[in-house]
Chains A and B, each alone.
Chain A
């Protein structure tokens, strides 16, 4: 079979996605939603706060990344925190002060900060 340049691009995109998953294996992933709505609501400061917390803690087991709009624009800024082997938890209406607590209690401590989480109780939390 002869490969075309567009086939190579498809393979590259597919492999990049799996490489990212492999990197995330066994680590906590903090995903800051950076849609237009999120950025307009202060998501950059939330991202900054998480990056600072990771640097301060010196932890190698936390990945901070970004994605687009999560579909609930009026509750932005939002993040999704996913610990290894646990379902993801979405936090809404965030401020840098809330980030400090979420990082200490959930990301490092493994305990969900229920008062900032979206719909705790309507989803199975492990």
Chain B
């Protein structure tokens, strides 16, 4: 993956596969703490505790007919390479939240890429899902409201 907006598209693809009707994407660039945080949360079917423990294992997937699941492990690797890390929270029947933290000024931090395009294409191709996108830079807030 060349940039983080592609990772976000990949993580949201998991939300869609999990039957989510609502997906929230939050990006926060905080120069003071030198942290870039990306959080993707959905109200999909969630994961059991057992699956959650293995969610970042590239050789684990719950998809039928597949033996690998690289999406989350690549996102976690991108976060680690910039001095950060990734956490996944999930509850069966309630949803899943993936939060990755990056070193904002770290030389190995991937560029954000075209997040607007990622969100626009998700809305165009999945009108049945409510997408909420919020991008905060320092104190300035650039909020993109939900599109049905």
Contact = CB atoms under 8 A, between A and B. Distances in A.
Interface residues of A, number: 25
Contact of A44 (B16, B63, B66, B118): B118
B13 A66 contact: yes
B93 interface: yes
B36 to A, nearest CB: 20
Given A9-B45, A36-B71, A65-B126, A44 B9 contact: yes
Contacts of B10: 34, 36, 39
Given A13-B19, A36-B70, A6 B93 contact: yes
A77 interface: no
B93 A51 contact: no
Interface string B39-56: 000000100000000000
Given A16-B21, A44-B117, A34 B124 contact: no
Nearest to A43: B9
Contacts of A119: none
Interface of B: 1, 6, 9-10, 13, 16-17, 19, 21, 45, 63, 65-66, 70-71, 74, 93, 117-118, 121, 124-126, 128
Interface of A: 5-6, 9, 12-13, 16, 19-20, 32, 34-37, 39-40, 44, 47-48, 51, 64-66, 68-69, 71
Given A44-B9, A51-B124, A68-B13, 12 more contacts: A16-B19, A16-B21, A20-B128, A34-B10, A34-B13, A44-B117, A47-B125, A66-B13, A66-B16, A66-B126, A68-B63, A69-B63
